[in-house]
Amino acid sequence: MESTAPMEYAHLGRAGLEVSRLCLGTMNFGPLTTEEEAHQIMDRALELGINFFDTANVYGRSVRMGLTEEIVGNWFAKGGGRRERVVIATKLYGSTSDWPNDRFLSARNIRLACEASLRRLQTDHLDLYQMHHIDRATPIEEIWEAFEVLRQQGKVIYVGSSNFAGWHLARAQERARARNFTGLVSEQSLYNLMDRQVELEVLPACRDYGLGVIPWSPLASGILGGALQKQREGRRANPSTQKRIDANRARLEAYEGFSKELGEGPADVALAWLLHQEGVTAPIIGPRTMEQLEGATRALEVKLGEVELKRLDEIFPGPGGTAPEAYAW
């Protein structure tokens, strides 16, 4: 069912920046979606009011490293206010070559990776520059100094993290505070009905420090998007996904049945559930096609009350709350 509701916006954590409640993920652009199709999807996303786009310097690597950023950059270059209306978020951490310093979060790589992303994206600044993973070998002081320089140069406006543990977030923010630096404004985490570990400590840390939560894989690699129904239609999942489907078949049957009772698609219910979680700013949707983009906006209209949320908790139990009560007293 296609949405007719206007786009909703929220502040990115404690920042003054406002972003759409759905974030357009671009990971499929290049490997699975042609550049022409990707440009059409981005144009339509703007028409739908989606102003928050997420990418990474390693996306597209199965074809060519940096390809996805190039596709987005070529779209920006078309003009028409495209760059001005988009909050562009990209990431660094992963290896971009065989050389040892073209990876992780050294001051050198932060500087050079930023310059490379700016060139590929054909822009003079990044709205949100995210650390794709924790780097245990680089001192946080070195990391913050490098980001401070980028902000002073006007090349980066906000800094975010991805795949950080709760204590990583606390350490980063406290060190930033000691330097009179803003620090992080967001954390991008694996979070969906089937993967709820972040509820233990990451989400509480984000709420306490005022970080916006950007869930990736909101459909658990498509499993929450009606996997059983798709199988009945003859569509096959890859071996690893199939293994997880088989292990959760009873829950998925209950979930898809409950979604049907609500009169909604399973994917819409999964996205709507995330939008109902305190602290979540915008789940990342990663459409391969225009149809998938159009369908995702329906989640904004799905309202889940206490009864519906309780039922979803029964089907996919979380860790039991926040730490330590979830496992102690």
Place of tokens 């050294």: 106
Interior angle at CA 34, CA 30 and CA 39, nearest 5 = 100
Please give the Cα distance from 231 to 245 (Å, whole number).
10
The ranges of the chain with pLDDT < 70 are: 1-4
Report the candidate in 44, 73, 61, 210 with the shortest Cα–Cα distance to residue 132.
61
Please give the Cα distance from 51 to 299 (Å, whole number).
17
Domains belonging to the chain, first-starting first, are: 9-315 (3.20.20.100)
User: Hey, which residues are catalytic here?
Assistant: 59
Which residues in 100-209 belong to E strands, given as ranges?
Answer: 126-131, 156-162, 184-190
What pLDDT is stored for residue 5 in this prediction? 72
What pLDDT is stored for residue 2 in this prediction? 54
